[in-house]
Amino acid sequence: MIEPPDYPGKYIRHNARMAAAGVRVRLGGHPKLRKQARAAMKALGGGLGYAALIEPQWIETTQVNIGIRDFPSSINGYKIAHLTDMHYNIAAGKNFLQRVVKKTNALDADMVALTGDFIGSDPRKLDRCMAVLSDLRAPDGCWVVRGNHDHHTTVEHMRAACREAGFHFIENTHVIMKPTRRHNHRHPFVERDDEASFAIAGVGDLWEGDCRPGLALQGLEDGKTPVVMLSHNPHVLDLLLPHQRVDLVLSGHTHGGQVRPLGRHFRILCDGSTKYVSGIVENNETRVYISRGVGTSAFRLRWNCRPEIALIQLHRAGGTSTASSTDGFSG
Ligand SMILES: [Fe+2]
């Protein structure tokens, strides 16, 4: 047995040389170094345990206020619950998703937006995921677009799964939403307005070459109708032309970076982008809200980037559209 030197500067080099020579090395020759090494190992183990077992299950609900030009005042305060990137798997399976559904239903939203990546790579998980999500409740229904991972199965499978769950699949099309509840959260007894409406548009996934905003917005060229667009990939913002009115895009895809030590993110989990990571990104009249998503992919870890249910509230704005800061609350 050869004792390593007591000098910290030579410690690592010495151990590496001994290990390379096939000599058995006793770790931590110096008591102080040994103590520091043990503390570092404990911290690393604890951090990994937290990132693997605790934070991915620790759901946060985020409130977002979006001011939209000419939004009908009789539906001021319209609420959309936004879920994305479920990635149904063992870690984020039935029990976890049931908690997500329960929390989402408790928000009493007018509609639910589901912006893709229901599965990882196993197409058989789609039906299991949809079976749990089918318990989502909202008067104006649940609206679906696909993410890149959902292309591990066919579009026919997705359509059938949506039909079974009672969801609306709106890839590269739009519908005019006539809200069921005519309310104004500031003035609850506002006069009923049967003309109150806005468009909900959906686009396919950008990575899969299915993102066609022109097709989704066909018929809305006059720019008079407020538009909320569902797009798995937030980069759709770069595809919108100046004459295409889109007030708000709801997106996911990045998982917020998923692992963000000291507030930074690994770009590999952010689609290589530093612009589109999480929260609100603005460009002229269009706002994109990028949710951190519900599940995980690649590594089943989250650090400083909790799973998110976003509650988006739409308000009437005077001149131009606006977006306010977000307030998260735990759940
Ligand atoms: Fe995803």
Which tokens hold the place of 27? 């770790």
Task: Tell me, yes or no, whether 67 and 85 share the same domain.
Answer: yes
Alpha helices in the chain (DSSP H): 8-20, 31-49, 94-106, 125-133, 155-165, 213-216
Distance, CA of 128 to CA of 133 (rounded, Å):
9
Ligand 1 centroid–CA 199 distance in Å is: 25
Evaluate whether residue 3 is within a structural domain.
Answer: no
Evaluate whether residue 231 is within a structural domain.
Answer: yes
Mean pLDDT of the chain: 84
Q: How confident is the model at residue 183 (pLDDT cuts 50, 70, 90)?
A: low
For the entire predicted model, the pTM comes to 0.83
Tell whether the model's pLDDT for residue 177 goes beyond 80. yes
Ligand 1 centroid–CA 54 distance in Å is: 19
Task: Tell me, yes or no, whether 244 and 107 share the same domain.
Answer: yes
Task: Tell me, yes or no, whether 159 and 118 share the same domain.
Answer: yes
Angle, vertex CA 229, rays to CA 310 and CA 295, nearest 5: 40
Structural domain boundaries, residue 221:
59-330
Task: Tell me, yes or no, whether 159 and 42 share the same domain.
Answer: no
Task: Tell me, yes or no, whether 34 and 75 share the same domain.
Answer: no
Ligand 1 centroid–CA 311 distance in Å is: 19
Tell whether the model's pLDDT for residue 319 goes beyond 60. no
Q: Which one has a higher pLDDT value, 162 or 23?
A: 162
Please tell me the predicted confidence (pLDDT) of residue 250.
98
Q: Which CATH number is 197's domain given?
A: 3.60.21.10
Evaluate whether residue 173 is within a structural domain.
Answer: yes
Evaluate whether residue 86 is within a structural domain.
Answer: yes
Tell whether the model's pLDDT for residue 269 goes beyond 80. no
Ligand 1 centroid–CA 231 distance in Å is: 12
Ligand 1 centroid–CA 226 distance in Å is: 28
Please tell me the predicted confidence (pLDDT) of residue 311.
97
Our count of domains for the chain comes to: 2
Ligand 1 centroid–CA 295 distance in Å is: 8
Ligand 1 centroid–CA 78 distance in Å is: 27
Ligand 1 centroid–CA 297 distance in Å is: 6
Ligand 1 centroid–CA 277 distance in Å is: 12
Task: Tell me, yes or no, whether 44 and 84 share the same domain.
Answer: no
Ligand 1 centroid–CA 178 distance in Å is: 30
Of how many residues is the chain composed? 331
What are the pLDDT digits (tens) for 67-122?
Answer: 999 899 888 999 999 999 999 987 788 999 999 999 999 999 999 999 999 999 99
Please tell me the predicted confidence (pLDDT) of residue 185.
52
